[in-house]
Amino acid sequence: MNFLKKAYIKVKDHSVSGEEFELLLDENLQLLKTYPQPSLELLPNYYESEDYISHTDGQRTLFEKVYQFIKKKALNDKVKLIEYWHTGKGTVLDIGAGTGDFLLVAKSKGWKAVGMEPNSKAKTISKKKGICIVDNYSALEDHFFDVITMWHVLEHVPNLEFQIKELKRLLKPNGTIVIAVPNYKSFDATHYGKFWAAYDVPRHLWHFSKVAMEKLFIRENLKLKKVMPMWFDSFYVSLLSEKYKTGKMNLFSAFWVGLQSNLKGRQTKEYSSHIYIFKNN
């Protein structure tokens, strides 16, 4: 990958360290890279926050309660999505399984579910729910899974090219990969600039565009079949962005920006986050 030395934008870690990072641009891929990227030894330290909601089942605040409520509907929608792209039940691997709720719903619908999750706290919660969690890729057989999902996880992966190669190795012929990532070309990203919460440096090591996703995966002969918007993400991200920008969660402002982002996305096809569906050729 060929990243420009000049930063695309400078962004602060608003949730843990307060450190500032640069985002470098690969013009050909339209991919941004967080610079510098923390070492593998130091990276877990940037996740040590009670506010990192995907690693807990927290309902301490109104924000967390609303998040968990909406999450329940989203989980069922995600299972419906994989069932649309894979006829019948099968084996599903969720990379970055968090507290295991997606796989729990998938299991209840008849799927054979396996997860991977590096965070020890989230992993413990998943196992208590009866989810099978594996620790590394070497424990998984070649061409074993019908569906592999990564819900807002690919942006966290240190070795991007290795990760995509492993997805190819683990997927059955004609299998399906479902990946959700933020889109730095969305209206809300442009509106909030350095305060856009979905940059989330340095936990997000990569920042994707539609061009980047298609070009990265076609290298492994994984064909992009569909790009879908994640409607709720614009509101959730805008709410956090308001907090980073003003110190307050301005509900009205966040709702208005999120709404504009979705409306403009209908014209530009650039939403706050996208779900990408890939098929193994």
Among 187, 208, 195, 181, smallest CA distance to 271 is for 187
Average pLDDT for residues 133-139, to the nearest whole number? 91
Residue 69 pLDDT class (50, 70, 90 cuts): low
Cα Rg of the chain (Å, integer): 18
Q: Which residue has the higher pLDDT, 53 or 245?
A: 245
Question: Does a structural domain hold residue 120?
Answer: yes
Question: Are the C-beta atoms of 168 and 219 separated by less than 8 Å?
Answer: no
Provide the residue range defining the domain that includes 260: 61-196+211-280
Q: Checking phi first, is residue 18 left (phi over 0); if not, alpha (psi -120 to 50) or beta?
A: left
**Per-residue pLDDT tens over the stretch 19-31:** 999 999 999 999 9
Question: Does a structural domain hold residue 250?
Answer: yes
Question: Does a structural domain hold residue 30?
Answer: no
Q: In the structure encoding, which two tokens stand for residue 214, read together?
A: 């298609």
Q: In the structure encoding, which two tokens stand for residue 142, read together?
A: 């070649």
What's the pLDDT score for residue 55? 47
Among 82, 73, 280, 105, smallest CA distance to 178 is for 82
Question: Does a structural domain hold residue 48?
Answer: no
Q: In the structure encoding, which two tokens stand for residue 197, read together?
A: 């919460």
Question: Does a structural domain hold residue 10?
Answer: no
- Ranking 53-57, 62-66, 182-186, 235-239 by mean pLDDT, the lowest is 53-57
Number of structural domains found in the chain: 1
Percentage of the chain lying above the pLDDT 90 cut: 83
Question: Does a structural domain hold residue 86?
Answer: yes
CA atoms of 90 and 111, how far apart (whole Å): 5
Among 238, 242, 225, smallest CA distance to 273 is for 238
What's the pLDDT score for residue 72? 76
CA atoms of 267 and 117, how far apart (whole Å): 37
Q: Write the CATH number for 162.
A: 3.40.50.150
CA atoms of 26 and 24, how far apart (whole Å): 7
Question: Does a structural domain hold residue 70?
Answer: yes
**Per-residue pLDDT tens over the stretch 167-217:** 999 999 999 999 999 999 999 999 999 999 999 999 999 999 999 999 999
Question: Does a structural domain hold residue 225?
Answer: yes
